[in-house]
């Protein structure tokens, strides 16, 4: 069996607790980095990460993007979406096709 976790600042992840998903609340980027590496080594299959932290962890995310586990999926944190998640999809298209052919 594999595990699912949500990682982000305390307020963003607390509500996921009600669903029975493991929540990991982190205060700063360094802590987020450590937790991310720890979870990647254990059997976490899916990690949802708030966009606020994702923007600071670009290089780590690039490493895990090439591996099958864990799948790190960006979700909007509290309030608004920063559009990083959608930009990542666009980036993947540009990488594969050479141009963004989906458009807006």
**Residue recorded with tokens 């949500």:** 6
Judge contact between 23 and 13, C-beta under 8 A: yes
Residues of this chain, 22-81, that bind another protein according to CB under 8 A: 45-46, 48, 65-66, 68-69, 71, 73, 75-81
- Write the DSSP symbol of residue 30: H
* Structure token digits, residue 31: 């802590």
Judge contact between 13 and 25, C-beta under 8 A: yes
Nearer to another protein, 1 or 41 (CB): 1
Nearer to another protein, 27 or 79 (CB): 79
Nearer to another protein, 20 or 59 (CB): 20
**Residue recorded with tokens 């298209």:** 93
Summarize as ranges the residues that interact with another protein (CB under 8 A).
1-4, 11-12, 14-21, 45-46, 48, 65-66, 68-69, 71, 73, 75-81, 85-86, 89, 92-93, 95-98, 101-102
């Amino acid at each position: 069996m594999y595990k699912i976790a949500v990682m982000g600042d305390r307020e963003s992840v607390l509500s996921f607790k009600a669903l029975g998903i493991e929540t990991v609340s982190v205060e700063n980027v360094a802590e987020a980095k450590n937790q991310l590496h720890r979870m990647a080594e254990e059997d976490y299959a899916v990690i949802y990460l708030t966009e606020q932290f994702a923007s600071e962890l670009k290089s780590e995310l690039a490493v895990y993007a090439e591996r099958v586990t864990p799948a790190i999926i960006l979700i909007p944190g509290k309030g608004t979406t920063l559009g990083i998640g959608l930009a990542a999809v666009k980036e993947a298209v540009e990488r594969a096709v050479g141009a963004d052919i989906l458009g807006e």
